[in-house]
Structure 1
Amino acid sequence: MANRADTLLTLRNQIITAARNYAGLTKKTYLYVYGNEYFELLFAIGSFMHLTGVSTSLRAEDFYHKAITGTLSGQQLDFTKQQTMRKVKKKLPCLEQLPQLTKTTVCVVKDLSTNTLLYKLGLTNLEFTLGVSQPSFANKFPAGVYIPRSLRVKDKAIENSTDGDFVDFVLERNLDQRNAKYSRFTYYDMNKKFPVELYDLLEDKLRLELEQA
């Protein structure tokens, strides 16, 4: 049976892998379109630590940077009565797979109820759910964008929500380009037609391709 030090090392390695996967997401903004509704999601650096479920004395940004550079140590990981080591063990394999939520079939759930919070929106692939909300410090982020707030494993997200819709399209745009428009689909339901009302959010080249299809 693994001792605590071995377990912490395993968790530390999983966090490093998850952080490096997450790093690719932080460079983009994602547009989720379902029916005639949509929202924009930005994977904020400051959100990563909370998604792991661990407790630490590190600031959120420092935790993230130590993880992506591989300098995070097992001794910097701790747990609470609410976020136990057992829960963290369940979360981390899902966190490593987080990029899948940007390129596979997912469901947008509305008014997602948890033990502690009510999320206006969430994304689930039925294996795990990402609760998202608009940031408290809106001046640090583009207007109207959502950021990740929680990661929950097999939490019956659809049953605990008032409504849900499968995503029809997911698009991405570069975060570091001011006023950039969406240039690429990362998920496309071939049985659906992209809403004409959202064409203004697209780069001209992508918009022309849709018009000619």
Structure 2
Amino acid sequence: MLVGSVREGRFAPVVARWFAELAEQDGRFTVEVIDLAEEPLPLALPPVPPAVDPEMPRPAQMAELTRRIAAADAYVVLTPEYNRSFPASLKAAIDWYYTEWAAKPIGFVGYSGATGGVLAIEQLRQIFGELHAHTVRDYVSFPRYYELFDADGTLKDPTGPARDAQALLDQLHWWGALLHTARHENPYAGTAH
């Protein structure tokens, strides 16, 4: 899971904890949480983007993040919605990589005051499509998230979100297994220029 918010006082850890616990309980996933607030991620990109030079050198402090992103067979991106979009930290994390996203499935969990992060999710679908990733149809959304969780970070009524999360996980597992096999049996060449 890629946690996209780095804002001070952010709500992302509450939602990330809830989703990660569900994914672990599912039993089909090894869940790793990559929290961008804890990653040394430069916002300034190199002069030659990874789409042109996928082997471009990255700063040494990004080695572990690069390893973790490259190793994953599937991703869940957790995004808040700020001003009808996603945070700059998330865009930077996406843009530092290119082939690492290719032919891998991506699911989304969003939260915001009004739309539940849906506008941010729809924009992210376009970006990941450009990177040759496959975004799964179902997602989890928390509109007015501040009313949905109690003071301890427990979801007051988990029925709807848990159902949505299960649909997302089912799709992520199916696509993840299929694309894992495909990448290993017939390496994806769609990112070659």
Answer yes or no: same fold by TM over 0.5. no
More helix by share: 2
Q: Which has the larger radius of gyration?
A: 1
More strand by share: 1
Task: Compute the TM-score of the two structures, normalised by the length of structure 1.
Answer: 0.22
